A and B are shown apart, each in its own frame.
Chain A
Amino acid sequence: MADTGVLELLRLIEKADDGVDSVDAASRLGVDHQVVVGAVKSLQSLGDIISAEQRSSKHWELTEEGSEIAKQGSYEARVFSAVPLEGLAQSDLMKLPFGKIGFSKAMSNRWIKVDKAQEGGPRVYRSVRIIVVDQVREKLLLLQKGSGSQLEDKDKNELKKRKLLSEVTVKSYWIGKGNSFSTTITKQETELTPEMIASGSWKEKKFKPYNFEAMGVAPDCGHLHPLMKVRTQFRQIFLEMGFTEMPTNNFIESSFWNFDSLFQPQQHPARDQHDTFFLSDPALSHEFPQDYLERVKRVHSEGGYGSQGYMYDWKIEEAQKNILRTHTTAVSARMLYKLAQQEKFTPVKYFSIDRVFRNETLDATHLAEFHQIEGVVADYGLTLGDLMGILHQFFTKLGITKLRFKPAYNPYTEPSMEVFSYHEGLKKWVEVGNSGVFRPEMLLPMGLPEDVSVIAWGLSLERPTMIKYGINNIRELVGHKVNLQMVYDGPICRLDS
Chain B
Amino acid sequence: QKVSVEVLDHLEHLALVDFRDSEGVERLQKAIQFADQLHEVNTDGVEPMDSVLEDRCLYLREDDVTEGNCTKDLLENAREKVEEYFVAPPGNIPLPKLEERDTFLQGS
State yes or no: do A and B come from one complex.
no
Residues of B within 8 A of A (CB): none
Residues of A within 8 A of B (CB): none
